[in-house]
Structure 1
C-alpha cells in the first residue's frame, strides 16, 4: 500500500514537471494543437506517457510493484501507441492509420488463453474503438485528463476486487500522472494532451479493463466495459449522428463534440470538465458495482439512457462550421492590412 502511494505521488510530480519542461521544445518543434487560435504545446501527452511508463517500469524492476508479464506487455504496447500518437501530432496522418495501429498493438496484449479466439478478436476491436473515441475527448481544457483519471480509478477498483495488485497499481500511477498533467491543462490551458497522450491513456484504460474482465461473463463484461467509457461513447455518438444529419463526412474534423456544444449553451469552460467528469464518475460507479456483483448487468442500460439525453438534446444545436485559427492580417489595423494587401499584390 505504501509503495503504491509513493509510486502515485512520484508519477504526479514527474508528470507535472515534464509537462512544464517540455513546453518549450514542443513549441520549437511545432508540436502544437492546430485547432487553437494561439499555439498550445502538446507537451502533456509525452509527460503523462513518460511518467506512467518510467514509474511503473522502475517499480517493477525494483520489485516494489511487480506488474506481471501480461501487464508488462500492456505498458510496452501503450508506449508504442503513444509514439504513433506523437507522429500524428507532428504531421497529419490519414484517418485510418491510428485506429489500425492501435488494433495491431491490441492484438499483442489480449489474453487469448482466457478469452478464446472469437472473444479475443472482439476485444481487439473494442480496444481500438475505445482508444479512438477517447482521443475525441481531447477537445476541451481538462476534459480528457479528468475523464481519464476517473476511468483509471474505476479500473483500479475492479482490479483490486480481482486481487490484481500490479494492474491496480498501474492504474493508480496513470491516474496520478493525469492529475499532474491537469495542473497545466485546466482552463486556461498551458499544455495540451495531444494524440500521443490521448491514445496512450485510452489504450491503457481499454486494454487494462479487458485484462480485468478476461474469462468472465460476456454480458456482464460488455456492461462493465461500456459503463467505464460511457462519456467517450456519448461524445462519439453525438459527433457521428450530428455529422450524418448535416450530411457531412464523419472523418472530417469540426468543433461539434460534446464539450463544444455544451459551451454553446453558455456553460463556463471550467464547468464542462467538471460536469462530464461527474457523469463519468457515475458510469464508473455502475461499472464497479456490476463487476463486483452488487448490480446486475442491466444497470448499464440506465447508464446508456442517461448518456443518450445530452446526445439527443445537443445534436441539433448549431456549431461553428470550421476551426478558425487566428490570422495575423485579420487582427491587424486597417492601415496595416491595406499595406500588406498592396505588398502582396
Structure 2
C-alpha cells in the first residue's frame, strides 16, 4: 500500500517535471500539433511513457512491487507502440502502419492459453481498435488525459478484484502519470499528448482490461470491456457515421469529434472535458460493478442507451462547411457600399478635380 502511494506520487511529479522540461526544446524544434490554431508542442506523451516505464520498471528491478512476466511483457509492448507513435509525431505515418504496429504488439500480450485462439484474435482486434480510438480522442485539450485517468482507475479496480497486484500497480502509475501530464494539458494546453502518449495509453488500458478478464466467458467479458471504453467508442462511432453520411473519406480529418460538437453547442473547452469525463466515469463505474458482481450484466444496457442518445443527438450538430449567415443589416450596408463605389467612379470620370479614387469601406 505504501509503495503504491509512493510510486503514484513519483510518477505524477516526474511526468509534470519532464513535460515542463520538454516543452521549450520541442517548441523550438517545431514539433507541434498542426490541428490547432495556436502551436502546441507535442512530446507530452513522451513524459507520460518515460515516467510510467521508469517507476514501474524500478518496482520490478528492486522486487519491491514485481509486475510479473505477463505484465512486464505488456509494458514492453506498450513502450514499443509508444516509440511508433513518437515517429508518427515527428514524421507522418500512414494509418495502416499504426494499425499493423498495434496489431503486432497486441498479438504479443494476449493470454491465448486462457482466452483460446478465437477469442484471443477478437481480443487483438479490440485492443487495436481501442488503441487507435484513444489516438482519435486526442482532439481536445485535456480530454485523453481525463478519460485515461478514469479508465485506468476502473481497469485497475478490475485487476485488483482478480488479485493481479502487478497489473493494478502499473495502472495506478499510469493514472498518476496522466494526472501529472494534465497539469500542463488542461485547457488551454501548454503541451500536447501526441500519438506517442495516446497510443501508449490506449494500448495499455485495453491490454490490461483484456488480461483482467482472461478466462471469463466472451459474452460477459464484452459487457465489462465495452463500458470501460464507452467514450472512446462513442467518438469513433460518431465520426464514422458523420463522415459516411456526408460522403467524406473516413481518414479525412475534420472538427467532427465529440468535443468539437459540444463546443458548437456553446460549451467552453474545460466544460466539454468535464462533461465527457463525467460520462466516462459513469460508464467505467458500470463496468467495474458488473465485473465485481455488484451489478447485473444488464447494467451495460444503460451505457449502450446513453451512448446511442449522445451519438444520435450530436449527429444533428452541423460541422462540415458551416458558414455564418450574413445579417440583413450587413447585407444592406454592403449593397449601399457597392452603390457608393459606383457613384464615386462615375464622379471621378465626370470631374477632373478628383484625382484620387474614392474608397468607401463597409463598417
Structure 1 length normalisation: TM-score?
Answer: 0.92
**Aligned pairs for 1:1-345 within 5 A:** 1-319=1-319, 321=321
Indicate the SS of the match to 1:255.
coil
Paired with 2:217 and 2:288, the residues of 1 have a C-alpha distance of: 15
Is contact 1:130-1:206 (8 Å) kept? yes
Paired with 1:83 and 1:140, the residues of 2 have a C-alpha distance of: 22
Paired with 1:28 and 1:168, the residues of 2 have a C-alpha distance of: 38
Is contact 1:254-1:321 (8 Å) kept? no
Paired with 2:43 and 2:89, the residues of 1 have a C-alpha distance of: 10
Paired with 2:145 and 2:27, the residues of 1 have a C-alpha distance of: 21
Is contact 2:186-2:270 (8 Å) kept? yes
Is contact 2:43-2:196 (8 Å) kept? no
Offset, 1:28: 3.0
Paired with 1:100 and 1:231, the residues of 2 have a C-alpha distance of: 24
How far does the alpha carbon of each residue in 1:243-274 deviate from its partner, in whole angstroms, 9 at most, with x for none?
00101011111111000000000001110111
Offset, 1:298: 2.2
Corresponding residue number in structure 2 for 1:333: none
Offset, 1:34: 1.0
Please tell me the root mean square deviation across aligned C-alpha atoms, in Å. Answer: 1.1
Is contact 1:112-1:120 (8 Å) kept? yes
More deviation in 253-262 or 31-40? 31-40
Paired with 1:321 and 1:130, the residues of 2 have a C-alpha distance of: 29
Offset, 1:321: 4.3
Offset, 1:301: 1.6
How far does the alpha carbon of each residue in 1:289-324 deviate from its partner, in whole angstroms, 9 at most, with x for none?
1101122222212101101111111112111549xx
Paired with 2:287 and 2:29, the residues of 1 have a C-alpha distance of: 41
Indicate the SS of the match to 2:205.
helix
Offset, 1:39: 1.3
Paired with 2:121 and 2:28, the residues of 1 have a C-alpha distance of: 41
The structure with the larger Rg is: 2
Paired with 2:274 and 2:258, the residues of 1 have a C-alpha distance of: 13
Indicate the SS of the match to 1:37.
coil
Paired with 1:318 and 1:91, the residues of 2 have a C-alpha distance of: 32
- Identify unmatched segments of 5+ residues in structure 2: 323-363
Is contact 2:53-2:75 (8 Å) kept? yes
Paired with 1:102 and 1:181, the residues of 2 have a C-alpha distance of: 23
- List structure 1 runs of 4+ shifted beyond 3 angstroms: none
Paired with 1:52 and 1:110, the residues of 2 have a C-alpha distance of: 21
Is contact 1:30-1:90 (8 Å) kept? no
Is contact 1:4-1:169 (8 Å) kept? yes
Paired with 1:219 and 1:137, the residues of 2 have a C-alpha distance of: 26
Paired with 2:227 and 2:50, the residues of 1 have a C-alpha distance of: 28
Is contact 2:18-2:47 (8 Å) kept? yes
- Identify unmatched segments of 5+ residues in structure 1: 323-345
Indicate the SS of the match to 1:22.
helix
Paired with 1:195 and 1:13, the residues of 2 have a C-alpha distance of: 22
